[in-house]
Amino acid sequence: LSYVTAGESHGPQLTGIVTGVPAGLELDVAELNTALAARQGGYGRGNRQKIEHDQVQIVGGVRHRITLGSPIALVIQNRDHAHWSQIMDPTAEATPQNTLRKVERPRPGHADLVGGMKYRHRDLRNVLERSSARKTAMRVAIGNICKQLLRQLGIDLVGFVTQVGPIGGTAVPTHDVARITTAIQENDLRMVDQTEVGAVHDLIDQTKRAGDTVGGIIRVIAENVPAGLGSYVNWDTKLDAKLAAAVMGVNAMKGVSIGAGFTAAQSFGSQVMDPINWDETNHWSRASDHLGGFEGGMTNGMPIIVNAAMKPIPTLYQPLPTADVNTKEAKKANVERSDTTAIVPASLVIESVVAIELAKVITDTFDGSNLGRLQEQVAVYRQELADY
Ligand code: EPS
């Protein structure tokens, strides 16, 4: 299973192709659109989301709601393109008129400057249009297809926010995906602890007034993942390594950890390892889950816990010093419309990339041609693990 996306933030549309989804999966398109709407929401979003109304159009690989096993092609329109149709026109010749809104003052922390250097762009709009997090909408659509596939194999997952700026970070008391999913729907921050919501709203309001931005920490929990996915035998077959790469592939991510992560470094081994249990009901399990469901780069059957640290968004309404790429004069950075924080949408995106990696390893480990056969093979494998 793999995917590719194309499309600029203010271009006509986002396009995605995902290949390797088994045949025979009944797709709930309403659920796909609900996930896209959730990614658009959350406290701290800017005005762009008032323009967009993300809806997926399926243009390949699905017939009468059922996946065919062929590549699935998806489209999401950029409604804002109507305001940028000349500036982002793919075929018209460049004229002074349609190259207005040039970006020449790169924003520190954004891809602007290095992207311009690397691709020899003098108008940094050519960089920012693709480096924009707008493209993550398509990853949520593809992630939701994978989530629907995983559900057919008994695997569920959820992404949520555990910290915004300095607020939060308290231990999440549960690994129960259904309980977390219910709790985070009670507020507009996808946070489990409702008592933190008021303080986070205040923080985001103050940050916005100051023309500044704020980041945070996201957690994804996946449950009922069978043991033994990924492998210890080579560094590049470790599944935790693949999850880390997928997380770091999301805009603005600066850190990733599994389970206790960095706090494991300051604890003793006896406090970090998860004691092994065997009993008639659960067969093999662990007494705790500090290692976030991974031993030796393989799933161990406990809930997978992935944490991601997101930096504050680099576009600031009170911009930082930079230099004009053409005149070289010291200037303030370009100001583009932006969110104060995108931690809520990012939690959906991180959930999506984890879903994609899990769907990928499962369809690689077992025969991923047809959902029914995949279900049979996974059931036989789960039984074998229980009988071990
Ligand atoms: C983004 C800047 C903003 C965000 C955008 C990401 O876009 P605009 O400049 O058009 O206001 O809204 O995110 C999305 C459009 C989205 O759908 O998430 C950026 O510079 O990364």
Ligand 1 within 6 A of CB of 46: yes
Q: What is the pLDDT of residue 172?
A: 77
Q: What is the pLDDT of residue 69?
A: 98
Predicted pLDDT at 248: 98
**Distance, first Cα to last Cα, the chain:** 29
237 with 297: CB under 8 angstroms?
Answer: yes
Domain positions in the chain are 2-387
**Predicted local distance difference test score (pLDDT) of residue 329:** 97
What's the CA-to-centroid distance between 299 and ligand 1, angstroms? 35
pLDDT at 344: 98
The answer, yes or no, to whether residue 141 has pLDDT greater than 80, is yes
Is the CB of 175 within 6 Å of ligand 1?
A: no
Across residues 317-336, what is the average pLDDT?
A: 95
Dump pLDDT digits (tens) for 123-136.
999 999 999 999 99
Going by alpha carbons, the residue nearest to atom 3 of ligand 1 is 338
pLDDT of 169 reads 87
pLDDT band at 173 (very low <50, low <70, confident <90, very high): confident
Q: What is the mean pLDDT of residues 268-279?
A: 97
- For all residues of the chain together, what is the average pLDDT? 97
User: Would you mind telling me the total number of residues written for the chain in this entry?
Assistant: 388
Nearest to 11 by CA among 136, 135, 143: 135
Q: What is the CA(338)–ligand 1 centre distance, in A?
A: 6
Does ligand 1 have an atom closer than 6 angstroms to the CB of 48? yes
Mean pLDDT, range 15-40, rounded to an integer: 98
User: pLDDT-derived band of residue 171, with 50, 70 and 90 as boundaries?
Assistant: confident
CATH of the domain spanning 2-387: 3.60.150.10
Check whether 174 has a pLDDT greater than 90. Answer: no
Bridge partners (DSSP) listed for residue 305: 221
Ramachandran assignment for 164, one of left (phi > 0), alpha (psi -120 to 50 degrees), beta (any other): beta
In the reported structure, the alpha carbon of residue 128 is separated from the centroid of ligand 1 by a whole-number distance in angstroms of 10
> What ipTM was reported for this prediction?
0.91
From residue 109, how far is each of 1, 118, 312, 382 by CA, in Å? 32, 16, 9, 45
Q: What is the pLDDT of residue 340?
A: 97
- pLDDT above 90: residue 306: yes
Q: Is the model's pLDDT at 3 over the cut of 80?
A: yes
How confident is the model over 225-252, as a mean pLDDT?
A: 98
Cβ–Cβ < 8 Å for 287, 274? yes
